[in-house]
Amino acid sequence: MGSVPSMLTQYDIEEVQKYCNTLFSQEEIVALYQRFCQLDHNAKGFISADEFLSVPEFAMNPLSQRLLKMVDGLNFKDFVAFLSAFSAKASPQQKIELIFKVYDSDRHGKVSLKDMVEVLKDLSGPFISDEQREVLGQSNLKMRVEVPVE
């Protein structure tokens, strides 16, 4: 499933379901495939960061630049896997792992004070000073949680 076939076969749908721990029904996978094809403007078989930014809700998200690092170049199977963390059926562990990846921008397996301050900057914009972010980051870091990422 590296490139996007013109139609999903039953085998493709079942393969994506297994890959995503059956968090989506077959009908939902077909709908996600249609959305994927709409976003994949040049039918390359993957979605670029620019194509993700064409979704207004994504572009307006204050963490969109962090999310873009995670989604740039996703094929359909990985697109569905990424979205599975947002599903109501996703486990708390899956949701935590996604949030952890958003915060751990340097991908070293830990959320550092620097990571916390960067996320706070993304979320608060010019409304909080760097000094205030540093204090908030330090207080949040005291609740340090390390989540094993697969």
User: In this structure, what CATH number is given to the domain that contains residue 27?
Assistant: 1.10.238.10
CB contact set of 139 (below 8 Å; sequence gap of 6+): none
CB-CB contact of 133 with 121 (8 Å) = yes
Same domain, 36 and 101: no
Same domain, 84 and 118: no
- Kindly state the tokens that stand for 24: 């989506």
Residue 64 belongs to domain spanning: 1-89
Angle separating helix axes 76-84 and 10-19, nearest 10 degrees: 40
Same domain, 147 and 105: yes
pTM for this structure? 0.73
Q: Tell me what pLDDT residue 144 has.
A: 54
Q: Quick check: 53 pLDDT over 80? A: yes
Distance CA 34, CA 11 (A): 17
Same domain, 135 and 109: yes
Q: Tell me what pLDDT residue 13 has.
A: 94
Q: Quick check: 4 pLDDT over 50? A: no
Q: Tell me what pLDDT residue 3 has.
A: 47
- Type of residue found at 64: S
